[in-house]
A and B are shown apart, each in its own frame.
Chain A
Amino acid sequence: MADVIKPVPEDASHKPKHFLRRYVFSTDHKVIGIQYWLLALVSVFIGMGLSALMRLQLAWPGERFALLKAILPHAAQSGNISPDLYLSLVTMHGTLMIFFVLTTAPQGGFGNFILPLQIGAREMAFPTLNMLSFWLTFVSLLVLLTAFFASAPNVIGPIAGWTMYPPLSAVGEIAGPGQGTGVVLWLLSIAIFSVASLLGSINFITTMFKMRAAGMTPLRLPLTCWAWFTTAGIALLSFPVLLAAGLLLLSDHLIGTHFFIPASEYVSGQLMTAEAGGSPILWQHLFWFFGHPEVYLAILPGMGLTSHLLSTFARKPVFGYRAMVAATFGIGLLGFLIWGHHMFVSGMSPYAATAFSLLTLVIGVPSAVKTFNWLGTIWRGQMRFTTPMLFALGFVSLFVSGGLTGLFLGQAAIDIPLHDTYFVVAHFHLIMGVAAVFSLFAATYFWFPKMFGRMMSERLGKIHFVATFIGVYAIFMPMYLMGIAGAPRRYAFHYNPATGEGLQYLAGLVPLTRFISYAAFITIAAQLVFIFNLVWSWRRGARATDNPWEATTLEWAIASPPPADNFGDAAPVVHCGPYEFSVPGAARDFRMQDEPRGAASKQREP
């Protein structure tokens, strides 16, 4: 092995020359991060389109739309959405959003791009593995989308919901269109996704352990890095469980085992199992052992980013840095102990339900620690209301208004009447869906200059924020009321005022349902502002300086966009913690992490 080290010219940033190596099969964590981000962007728009179709159906059931007939000539033959199609929309909307947006974008997208920069590394620990996990995710998305066309020419995918509860998801086409091949494709997609996610987690954890710059001690890490690290740990321990459950269900489908099909099960008048059988509850346990930590996969990076942004734009250190790190770990750990609160109506023992209720209350403690620390961080700060700051504040607001109802639903006695109503839909959309998406918006506005070297338009950003913030509250707050009124989830419609079909006791909710649909359409339209802003800023935005936000962490110490080898030959050396804002006596109101201690400053080193 040649050990001759030749000097390298200044500008040699090891950028691959070939187009495919540079942009497609790249091992550069920044390129992979952008690839993940684009994949999530495509998924979120598909998922949002599906929700628009659902809202159309819910508000005007039975109405015939020429548009629907045009885009779905077989599935919506007469121009309205059949219950099967509606359930398929629900399933695909949930799956796309949970896996390909909320799991992918914060971790694979921004984590990949930013984490190595923030810890001062030149790359992720295993660049080739990183590329592999992205392309597996991509394949998994394609497989999922083909599930839509499994029962061609009908465009109806699996109809069992993103939780894919057996036995109806285990017995094949007899349980409905898309429940045969559609479910098999869905399971394959999720299995591939799990493997990709595991490879990504291995990479993140090793990178955090091994690739930190000199002086980057654990307590000098930005809170975003702690959040990504914890998230990777959660994914590492929860995705194998989903994979295991998926393999069992897949073998029920393909090999004819009976892991989840119970004894004497009749579906559509046909006996499924001759003798004894398996247990659908087993699936629920395995699924939610993954499913509840999954919620924190989606929200923890958003929490880390919110802490980061509130500190940066209030020009104050994060209030209670150590408590924030502890709360992040606390949430990660407790997230594994409370899956049972999704299963209160499964016939669970009341003692077990009480234990799960209590643990669910306990997870409110670290969540409250975080919320109060956020308020402490912005308290008497010199606020700069930039677009990323607005979205971070919006995150806190949504986290509170979505999170407080979690305390209701975590109690078995209250959950049982509210279970499977719109109350639950409002709860998880606010806290997990919209709050996490707000953090993704914040991340996009905040890091866009670093990713593409140009600023996004602040004016359009603020219009986007105001419209989206009002819009999501207008959509989801009324759903709480619908839930309390007893409106069930997953129904293709509640009450049809034209024909008088449906649930009579919900007849009074028709105007509210229509209001939600109008709010949804307006909010969806507002996202076009965001897309326009992205494209316009990418081409025409003002050139970004290295550190446009006057932030302190290492990614802002290099050019925007960073060179292919990040810090190049000048490995950064970290001298202080990540939130040194408004240091008394300092020349400017922030101190970069790689800035050596100045003579004037007498701050303690964390």
Chain B
Amino acid sequence: MSTTVNSESKVNSASTGAGIHSRGSGGGGNSHKPGDGDDPWPPGFTRDDAIEPNKFRIGMWVALASILMLFVSLTSAYILRQSKGLSEAHDWFPLRMPGVLWLTTAMLLVSSITIEMARRALRRSRYGWFRLLISLTTLLGLGFLAGQLQAWLVLVNQGVYVYSHPHSSFFYLLTSLHAIHLFGGIIALLIVTVAAHRLRITRSKRNAVDVTALYWHFMDGLWIYLFVLLFFWRQ
């Protein structure tokens, strides 16, 4: 079977005749270069795949869609529970907002700025700045978690527990779910931060920074949303 020259030859046609039937015999000129023989990559994978940036970015966007869905469904439960028509007796007692939440919100907002600056510093190969900013982001993230814990303790001291009333149940549930998700981001940041201080920012770590920044911004936005929902969106 002879290959006529047509529009299809634009695509990489290393294969002659029956395409991949000729496996190995005419395999030259391929764009997919195999890695070292004793690569740590999974079968069929090369080093190029592991640092392919778009893959991780798409994967992260898809993952964010599902996280969004989790919080959207909890929001609908929240709004339904809050509405007066649902239960005969009205049992919605709004919490008094612990003041420390203003501080944690500010910390998270600043951390979003610092991680973005860190990302840009890395892109311009200013490693000193990057080390500083990424460490700062990690610390702010940990500070946020400590602040959230403080907010819980404030409520516990007031005698407000998870099961006290619906608003407190939702408050504890939503903040802890957000904190768990944010903690995942902190682990990613810690890995990058340690790598930065040991001066091991490889290409794959750069992708990790990009994708972590995306996740971190999302967590920031999610917290603002929850903050508004829990304390300002109220009948």
Mutual binders A and B? yes
Binding site for B on A (CB under 8 A): 1-2, 4-10, 12-16, 27-28, 122-123, 125-128, 198, 201-203, 205-206, 209-210, 214-215, 236-241, 243-245, 247-248, 251, 255-259, 262-263, 275-279, 282, 285-286, 289, 554, 557-558, 564-573, 575, 592, 594-599
Q: Can you give 16 contacting A-B residue pairs, CB < 8 Å?
A: A4-B36, A5-B33, A14-B44, A126-B59, A128-B42, A202-B66, A203-B59, A237-B66, A244-B77, A262-B87, A277-B87, A279-B81, A282-B80, A570-B14, A571-B20, A573-B14
How far is the CB of B174 from the nearest CB of chain A, in Å? 10
**Are A596 and B1 CB-contacts (below 8 A) given A251-B173, A258-B163?**
yes
Which of B67-75, B152-160, B191-199, B211-219 forms part of the interface with chain A?
A: B67-75
A interface SS class: loop
Contact A8 B37 (CB under 8 A): yes
Q: Which residues of B contact A279 (CB under 8 A)?
A: 80-81, 86-87
The 3 closest A-B pairs by CB, nearest first: A594-B19, A276-B91, A122-B44
Contact A570 B66 (CB under 8 A): no
How far is the CB of A588 from the nearest CB of chain B, in Å? 11
CA distance A594 to B177 in the complex (A): 48
Contact B24 A210 (CB under 8 A): no
Contact with A along B53-75 (1 / 0, CB 8 A): 01100110011011101100110
For window 12-39 of chain B, which residues contact chain A by CB distance below 8 Å?
12-15, 17-24, 26-27, 30-37, 39
Contact A259 B77 (CB under 8 A): yes
User: Does B3 interact with chain A (Cβ within 8 Å)?
Assistant: yes
Contact A15 B87 (CB under 8 A): no
Which of A6, A14, A201, A275 touches B43 (beta carbons < 8 Å)?
Answer: A14
For window 105-152 of chain B, which residues contact chain A by CB distance below 8 Å?
none
Contact B59 A244 (CB under 8 A): no
Q: Which residues of B contact A237 (CB under 8 A)?
A: 65-66, 69
Q: Which residues of A contact B3 (CB under 8 A)?
A: 596
**Are A278 and B166 CB-contacts (below 8 A) given A262-B87, A575-B8, A596-B1?**
yes
Classify chain B's interface size: 35 or more
CA distance A566 to B34 in the complex (A): 13
Contact B73 A1 (CB under 8 A): no
Q: Which residues of B contact A566 (CB under 8 A)?
A: 44
Closest A residue to B80 using CB positions: A282
Closest A residue to B32 using CB positions: A571
Q: Which residues of B contact A9 (CB under 8 A)?
A: 37
**Are A240 and B15 CB-contacts (below 8 A) given A558-B23, A597-B8?**
no
Contact B34 A569 (CB under 8 A): yes
Contact with A along B39-57 (1 / 0, CB 8 A): 1011111000100101100
Q: Which residues of A contact B15 (CB under 8 A)?
A: 570, 572-573, 594
Q: Which residues of B contact A278 (CB under 8 A)?
A: 81, 87, 166
Closest A residue to B51 using CB positions: A1
Which of A14, A210, A244, A565 touches B55 (beta carbons < 8 Å)?
Answer: A210
How far is the CB of A27 from the nearest CB of chain B, in Å? 4
Contact B203 A1 (CB under 8 A): yes
Contact B89 A263 (CB under 8 A): yes
Q: Which residues of A contact B88 (CB under 8 A)?
A: 263, 276
Q: Which residues of A contact B4 (CB under 8 A)?
A: 596-597, 599
